[in-house]
Amino acid sequence: MSVQRALRLILLFLVLIVLHFTLRPVLAWRAEADFLVLAVLLAAVRLRPGAAAALGFVVGILCDALVPVSFGAGAFTLAVIGFAASWLKAVFFSDNVLLHAFFFFAGKWVYDILFLILERQMGAGAMVTQLLVWSPLAAALTALTGLIVIMLFRNMLEGAPA
Amino acid sequence: MARAARASTRIDAALLVICTLLALLAIVLPAPARDAIAAGFQRTLSRPLLALQQRSERARAAFVEREGLTARIDSLSLQVTELQGLDAENARLRRLLAMSPRVGRGFVPAEALHGQVTGESHTVLVTVGSRAGVVPNSPVVAPDGVVGRVTSVSPTSSQVILWSHPDFRVSAMSADGGTFGIVTPHLKDGASCEGMDESSCAGPERLLLEMRGVAFRDVLKQGTLVVSSGLGGVFPKGMAIGTVIGELKTTEQWTRTYLVRPATRPQDLSNVLVLAPGLVREELPALWNNPNAAEVVMSTVIAAGDSITRQAAAALVDARRRADSVTAARDAATQAAKDSVAASLAADSIAAGGSAMTVAPSAQPPVIRPPRRDSTPRRP
């Protein structure tokens, strides 16, 4: 990856992180797009699996610090998601729009599943509702947002090494 | 090449294992240690994220509160408007209150209800009737002066024609009693409205009065107070009617006509006094000539309030004193009962031939402890 392309990727990554902490609190929807997962996924497919896991861990631990009750859960989940995304990029990250969408959808849903299990803050009923109703909705919104991001920044992202 | 790839894979796997182990360690950390680490991150690396989130949530809270604040401002504005109305009503009632002692017992306070129809703009309905002693031709007054005259009476309400009604007449004189005349409403072009629709007689001129039939030799200056003379038999002497604005040019040769600004405004009427002609005093000159009346009444009300407060305080002190005396009597009775019990116990022990133990008369009775609530067996 060239330096210029790396800088663009870092910029996009930071923009998504900022959006996560500015747009989401303002919208405050029950099911909302997860810019954090999106940023990690988009960066992970351009990194080696180990680096993607480290990136996910760092981002997760920084975000977990804001909610100490679930401290570590986000870090674990994002590390796994980042590693898996980087490892599976050859399979999923093609130019097919539907595959992109599925990639983001699955990433967000798996993130929610792992996070809620590790967080251990919800009862069984609430967790099932969350995982079967709200998480898929949030994952769909995340996928939609991811597609919009890809379309907007196609020039910036295309040509990334496999 | 393959070895390098294998090494990279091992490094990736090692990184994943390290990251997941660290994350799991963070999850299972004790709460104090976890909170301390989180606080450290919040102060340093996570600080920008925290600031972003706080700012966004503050913006959202402000946006959400905006509608509530707007509604609150609206309701407060409405309350302020209502309070202004209450202020005006309060002032009117105070002025009425100031009048009542001077009118004597021959009055009935009432509310004036304005009709909604244009044709009834010169009449009002007052909320007292024959049950309250109102009779036809009773004068109706306000703190400012003459309002009108009762024309018809029902048990609970009365119809009143205002001074602007074409049929209204009042015998009048200047405040010094030197000039007499008849006060009538000032109709358009001096013509009578008889036989005409009342709305056609309406206009700015109808807000004024005329004092007719003033002797040609009598000249009234602008601002002269005109009051009722009591000669007509309806209105008692001394009721304020208005002030002279100027002389009107008419075709009459031996009399003068003056334009009079009424003391009261029909549209402002809300609280009035209906005078009972048989009970009201003969003259009411002091009714409208005492500017400090309202203050006098206020001081009277305040003094009455003070006396009520004093009475309440005295009653409270008296009640406390009684309660103290009852408590003292009860304590004394309790002490006497204790003494008698102790004395009888001592007498019983002596009579039983026991030891030579003496019991003081003031010895305390044995303390009776309540049973234990818990049923836990005590170890010996």
Backbone angles phi, psi at A94, to 5 degrees: -120, -170
- Mutation target vs A (from B8, B19, B25, B41; most A CBs, 10 A cutoff): B19
| Rounded Cα–Cα distance for residues B265 and B259 (Å) | 16
Question: Beta strands B107-114 and B170-174: pairing type?
Answer: unpaired
DSSP B355-377: -S----TTPPPPP-PPPPS--PP
The answer to whether B23 contacts A63, with C-beta atoms less than 8 Å apart, is: no
CA A79 to chain B, closest CA, distance in angstroms equals 7
Contact criterion met (CB below 8 Å) for B258 and B220: yes
Name B268's Cβ contacts closer than 8 Å, sequence gap at least 6.
none
Q: Which of B133, B84, B86 is nearest to B276 (CA)?
A: B133
> What H or E segment, with its residue span, contains residue B161?
strand B158-162
* pLDDT number for residue B341: 64
* Cross-chain Cβ contact B37/A71 below 8 Å: yes
Chain A residue with Cα closest to B13: A50
- State the nearest Cα–Cα gap between A90 and chain B, in angstroms: 15
Question: Distance from first CA to last CA of chain B, Å, rounded?
Answer: 84
Q: Does A107 touch chain B (CB under 8 A)?
A: no
| Contact between B49 and A118 using a beta-carbon 8 Å cutoff | no
Neighboring chain A residues of B50 at a CB cutoff of 8 Å? 66
How close does chain B come to A156, measured CA to CA in Å? 25
Whether pLDDT at A161 is above 50? no
Q: Which residues of B touch A76 (CB under 8 A)?
A: 19-20, 23-24, 26-27
Residue A95: pLDDT over 60: yes
- Please, are residues B271 and B288 in contact by the beta-carbon 8 Å criterion? no
Choose, out of A40, A57, A87, A114, the residue to mutate when testing the contact with B (most B CBs < 10 Å): A57
Q: How far is A49 from chain B (nearest CA, A)?
A: 6
Phi-psi sector, B98: left (phi>0), alpha (psi -120 to 50), beta: alpha
Which residue's entry shows tokens 């309905």? B125
C-alpha pair distances (Å), A160 with each of A8, A39, A51, B176? 11, 15, 16, 108
Higher-scoring residue by pLDDT: A112, A160: A112
The pTM of the full predicted model, rounded to 2 decimals, is: 0.46
Which pLDDT score, from 0 to 100, does residue B130 have? 87
Q: Look at residue A45 and give its three-state secondary structure.
A: coil
Q: Is the pLDDT of residue A93 over 50?
A: yes
Residue B196 has a CB neighbour count (10 Å cut-off) of: 13
CA closest to A17 among chain B residues:
B49
Q: Report the C-alpha gap between B210 and B189 in whole angstroms.
A: 12
Helix (H) or strand (E) holding B348, with range, is helix B293-351
Q: CB-based burial of residue B162 (10 Å sphere; 0-12 exposed, 13-18 middle, 19+ buried)? A: buried
**Collapsed DSSP state (helix, strand, coil) of residue A100:** helix
Average pLDDT over residues A2-13: 86
Q: Which residue did the predictor score with more confidence, B79 or A28?
A: B79
Looking at chain A, the number of H-run helices and the number of E-run strands are 9, 0
- Give the C-alpha separation, B111 to B128, whole Å: 8
Compute the radius of gyration of chain B from its Cα atoms: 45
User: Would you call A21 and B52 a contact, using CB atoms and an 8 Å cutoff?
Assistant: yes
CA distance B25 to B14: 16
Contact B38 A71 (CB under 8 A): yes
Chain segment A41-55, per-residue pLDDT in tens: 989 988 899 999 999
pLDDT tens, residue order, chain B (380 aa): 677 777 888 899 999 999 999 999 999 999 899 889 999 998 898 889 889 988 888 888 888 888 888 888 989 988 888 887 787 777 777 777 766 665 665 788 888 887 655 554 688 888 888 888 888 888 898 888 899 999 989 998 898 988 888 889 999 999 888 899 999 998 765 444 444 444 444 555 668 899 999 988 888 999 999 999 888 888 888 888 999 998 888 887 788 999 999 998 877 788 888 887 665 555 555 555 555 555 555 666 666 666 666 677 778 778 877 777 777 777 777 777 767 666 665 555 454 444 434 444 444 444 444 444 444 444 43
Out of A18, A60, A65, the one facing B38 most closely (by C-beta) is A65
Q: Which two tokens stand for residue B307?
A: 């006396």
Q: Which range has the worst mean pLDDT, A19-23, A89-93, B228-232?
A: A89-93
Cα-trace Rg, chain A: 15
Q: Distances in Å between the alpha carbon of B357 and those of B234, B340, B341, B345, B352? A: 102, 18, 16, 12, 12
How many residue pairs bridge chain A and chain B with CB atoms within 8 Å of each other? 111
Query: C-alpha dihedral over B14, B18, B24, B27, to 10 degrees?
Result: -150
Interface test with B, best of A17, A27, A40, A66 (most B CBs within 10 A): A66
Asked if A57 and B27 come within 8 Å (Cβ–Cβ), the reply is no
* Residue A150 Cα distances to A5, A53, A94, B337, angstroms: 15, 22, 12, 96
| A121's tokens | 């803050």
Provide the terminal-to-terminal Cα distance of chain A, rounded to the nearest Å. 10
Measured between CB atoms, which of B13, B20, B26 is closest to A71?
B26
CB–CB of A76 and B23 under 8 A?
yes
The answer to whether B27 contacts A118, with C-beta atoms less than 8 Å apart, is yes
